[in-house]
Amino acid sequence: MSESNQIDISKLHHIVLRETENDPIQEIEPNFYRELSEFIGNLKKQEFDGIESKIKDALIVMATELTSLLIEIRLNKISKSEKIEFENLLDEEKFIVDSEEEKNERKEMILSATVNGKSKFLESLSQNHKTKTVVIRFLKEVDEIVGADLERYGPFKTEDIATIPYENAQALISKNVATKVRWED
């Protein structure tokens, strides 16, 4: 990207404004979110004193809020649209839309199984979900546990990373003993 096209707060504001003023999803450069991430990341790395530090912090807050607003506006347009305009969606937005489609498919699968008397399928689905594994990072020490799959896990120290059944992971996460680790492909 040429120097004159680099992301800055003014360009970000212009893109958000253009998105709010138009009904269809607007075309944005394919690397927009990555370049925006670099812009915000570089801002965060800079060290200033006094008023410059306050200005930098205000720019970071503004960029973060504009980014959040842009994503919300674009996703809202997608959700209200009869036909999704995939040609103007960025890869990161397609990633979000894909998860929404999977959610809808799962909802239909549960509804269909329920109203069609497929209780064994629902039981199998439930058991598979309880025992599917999740990667977590421990925030506190934890003694050995017996997982939903009846396997033994642990003991764990603070900052240990482990793969354990979903049901157990959720219990630990809800008690602030662990946090989910997201592995990106």
Give a yes or no: residue 28 inside a domain: yes
Domain limits for position 169: 130-180
Residue 133 contacts residue 163 (beta carbons within 8 Å):
yes
Domain boundary among 85, 118, 149: 85
Same domain, yes or no: 79 and 142: no
- Are residues 74 and 143 both part of a single domain? no
78 and 139 co-located in one domain: no
Look up the pTM and report it: 0.67
Which amino acid is it at 95? F
Tell me, what CATH number does 175's domain have?
A: 3.40.5.50
Q: Is residue 144 part of a domain?
A: yes
Using a 10 angstrom Cβ sphere, with 0-12 exposed, 13-18 middle and 19 or more buried, the burial of residue 135 is: middle
Tens digit of pLDDT per residue, the chain (185 long)? 334 468 899 999 999 999 999 999 999 999 999 999 999 999 999 999 999 999 999 999 999 999 999 999 999 998 888 777 778 899 999 988 888 888 989 999 999 999 999 999 999 998 888 789 999 999 999 999 999 899 999 999 999 999 999 999 999 999 999 999 986 53
In CATH, what number is assigned to the domain containing residue 71?
A: 1.20.58.1030
**Residues pairing with 146 in the sheet:** 152
Q: Do residues 17 and 78 both lie within one domain?
A: yes
Contact between 135 and 162 under an 8 Å Cβ cutoff? The reply is yes
Please check whether residue 146 is in contact with residue 176, taking contact to mean a CB–CB distance below 8 angstroms. Answer: no
Structural domain total, the chain: 2
